[in-house]
Amino acid sequence: MRTIKGPGIFLAQFAGDAAPFNSLANIAAWAADLGFKGVQIPSWDARLFNLRLAAESRDYAQEVTGTLATHGLAVTELSTHLQGQLVAVHPAYDAQFDGFADPSVRGDPAARQVWAVEQMRLAARASANLGLAGHATFSGALAWPYLYPWPQRPSGLVEEAFAELARRWRPILDAFDDAGVDVCFELHPGEDLHDGATFERFLDAVGQHRRANILFDPSHFVLQQLDYLAFIDIYHERIRAFHVKDAEFRPNGRSGVYGGYQNWIDRPGRFRSLGDGQVDFKAVFSKMAAYDYPNWAVLEWECALKHPEDGAREGARFIQDHIIRVTERAFDDFADAGGDTALNRRLLGL
């Protein structure tokens, strides 16, 4: 077993135009002061990171790692959640997702998709230059508008959606394989990969590709009412990234899982800061340790109530307190009486 690395923090929800959130050096100093040891970098945020330069220049990649090392930090993963989303977009969401793309390709879904794929290829090379083992992203979605089967879905619709999703992602997965980096899909409502069943369907469609893996975030499973502990039992071999995020689900007489189009604060299912929700993190960290999860525990702050800076400060300590320093020996080794084949046979009456 290995001790989980952490605590880390995903910087996407904290980056801004004002110090200390406006540059990698400044935000690194802030994160380190809170007790974080790693940062997950949003690759689209030019205030913090230049994705193309990191892919093309090892010197720049070393500059990034050096800036972080000055503050005792490491890169946990790069994130392409926004670009990954654009690999597959149903036309119903074109206008909403256009803002995720470079201005040069907005209003042109075909060009936007080509741009997104190139971004993913850059992320593979940048991750390799940074010496990273995994990469965090979204799958995008073609079938999401047809989630609830009413009217009845035409035969073969879902199968074709996943076949197309696989056609788009297979070359990207191959590029990450060439770079020696795992693609860790965050299973998230709004994505075609949002639970275990959809991940399995995708895995089948990409031929069980070894680089198709999972970013585990139990909060999304609380909101779906999926057993997140059993999920670890089933999929632990594919879990290669970990967002530590809390959530609660309190259904009432007016709304449930679907939320009634309400704002986050009024929804029965909503994200909370660490320790304020319902996720059993003691059990989560225990299972991750028992299954030898090899990478980072990364705070993702999304809370309908608490200020993000308070969530970050409390979250660093929360994760540190939940990381289990794994034992190197069994608790009863002191009572080991030794043994050999002859003794074992005698004890068995043989």
35-94: pLDDT as tens digits:
999 999 999 999 999 999 999 999 999 999 999 999 999 999 999 999 999 999 999 999
Task: Give the separation between CA 103 and CA 280, rounded to whole angstroms.
Answer: 42
Task: Give the separation between CA 113 and CA 105, rounded to whole angstroms.
Answer: 9
Tell me 141's DSSP state. Answer: B
- C-alpha closest to that of 8 among 303, 221, 243: 243
Q: Which fold has domain 5-347?
A: TIM Barrel (3.20.20)
pTM: 0.96
Map residue 213 onto helix, strand or coil. strand
Q: In the predicted model, is pLDDT for residue 336 greater than 90?
A: no
What confidence score (pLDDT) does residue 333 get? 77
Q: What percent of the chain has pLDDT over 70?
A: 100
Q: In the predicted model, is pLDDT for residue 277 greater than 90?
A: yes
- Helical residues (DSSP H) of the chain, grouped into ranges: 24-34, 51-56, 58-69, 81-85, 94-97, 109-129, 157-179, 196-205, 218-224, 228-235, 281-290, 308-322, 341-347
At 168, which amino acid appears?
R
What residue segments make up the domains of the chain, in order of their start?
A: 5-347
What confidence score (pLDDT) does residue 328 get? 83
DSSP string, 86-105: TTSB-GGGHHHHGGGS-GGG
What confidence score (pLDDT) does residue 330 get? 79
What confidence score (pLDDT) does residue 264 get? 96
Map residue 202 onto helix, strand or coil. helix
Mean pLDDT of the chain: 97
Tokens of 99: 């803002």
